[in-house]
Amino acid sequence: MVASNIADFILKNDAGILVNPEDPEEVSNAIIALLQNEQLREKLGKNGRKLVIKYNWENTALKILEVFKGLLN
């Protein structure tokens, strides 16, 4: 994944390459790096999937529900 450099959680989870969206050369270099490196694509893709599973709406809602239940007890 190539994402704006404000999405630091992507970098922290090794799920993508962060770029300055105002710098076309930086964006194109990141895309080219992914196109040329299958291992990097696979690694970032697997890590990105883990993030999506971890932070999907259902899991987030369940965590919020547990917080509310804790507040009621």
Main-chain dihedrals φ then ψ at residue 17, nearest 5 degrees: -110, 125
Distance CA(47)–CA(62), nearest Å, equals 22
pLDDT tens digit string along 21-33?
999 999 999 999 9
Quickly tell me which residue has 């804790």 as its tokens.
70
pLDDT tens digit string along 13-60?
999 999 999 999 999 999 999 999 999 999 999 999 998 888 888 888
